[in-house]
């Protein structure tokens, strides 16, 4: 979160709040679930090898 905040010029707390909002909107509890849900919804491409 700190690195993302520095890159975007926002605080670590703001990054954490945005992530929490995304988790809430996707109805998930962690990043792994968020990615899986985003793929299922077509928000992220599915990587198949």
Cβ contacts of 22 within 8 Å, gap of 6 or more:
34
**Domain locations along the chain:** 2-40
| CA distances to 10, 12, 14, 34 from 5, in Å | 5, 5, 8, 20
Per-residue DSSP letter, 49 = -
Question: What pLDDT was estimated at residue 24?
Answer: 98
Question: What pLDDT was estimated at residue 48?
Answer: 66
Per-position pLDDT tens, the chain of length 49: 899 999 999 999 999 999 999 999 999 999 999 999 999 999 999 886 5
What's the predicted TM-score (pTM) here? 0.80
């Amino acid at each position: 979160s700190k690195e993302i905040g520095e890159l975007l010029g926002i605080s670590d707390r703001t990054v954490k709040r945005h992530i929490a909002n995304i988790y809430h909107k996707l109805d998930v509890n962690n990043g792994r679930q968020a990615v899986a849900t985003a793929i299922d919804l077509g928000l992220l491409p599915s990587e198949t090898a």
